Amino acid sequence: MLSMRRRNCKWDSQANYSGIGEMRNAEHFLFYREDLSNDIVELEGAEARHAVTALRCRPGDGIRMTDGRGILARCEMEFCSTNQCRGRVVERIKTESPAPAVHLMVGLPERDAFERLIENVTPLGVRSITPLICGRCQRKWWAKGWERYRDRLHRKMVAGIKQAQSAWLPH
């Protein structure tokens, strides 16, 4: 029978949660911003809501951002609300591109399968993705105008680099 004894645990209703600052440190999460050339950066919309509600960012907290082109920036938050967060870039680091540079060429599958492919290969460090129109590929959705899916595919790639904590977005 398993022992149900509590070892080295303090079950105190008046618990002191002074260590919670380390738990809510948002520097373990990576945010994406296309332009990191300014010293002031802003998060808007869903990213600001995530920073404030899930990560509980407050003024003075640090976050990490990338532009997808190899720049990692450490920022200190100055203003936080659920709609907008603003911070100052404290440090910029230029990271090297993952070696070897993998160029993925793939015959076009159905649209949803192509989205899953992009979502799954981006965290692996693929440098670029080229869709190929082959003899038996699913080119109907591509021929109808893939441009309308451009933003959606870009969001999938951004989600992939955030998951992998990578500073490089495939092109």
Average pLDDT of the residues in 153-157: 92
Sheet holding 84-94, edge to edge: 30-32, 62-66, 71-80, 84-94, 40-44
Question: Domain spans of the chain?
Answer: 21-94, 103-164
pLDDT band at 10 (very low <50, low <70, confident <90, very high): very low
How far apart are alpha carbons 101 and 151 in whole angstroms?
24
Q: Which two tokens stand for residue 65?
A: 């951002």
pLDDT, position 27: 67
Interval 97-114: pLDDT, tens: 888 889 999 998 888 899
Average pLDDT taken over every residue of the chain: 82
Mean pLDDT to the nearest integer, 9-36: 58
Dist CA 152 CA 3 (whole Å)? 52
CATH superfamily of 21-94: Hypothetical PUA domain-like; domain 1 (2.40.240.20)
Q: What is the mean pLDDT of residues 7-34?
A: 54
Question: What percent of the chain has a predicted confidence (pLDDT) above 70?
Answer: 84
CA 31 – CA 150 distance, rounded (Å): 20
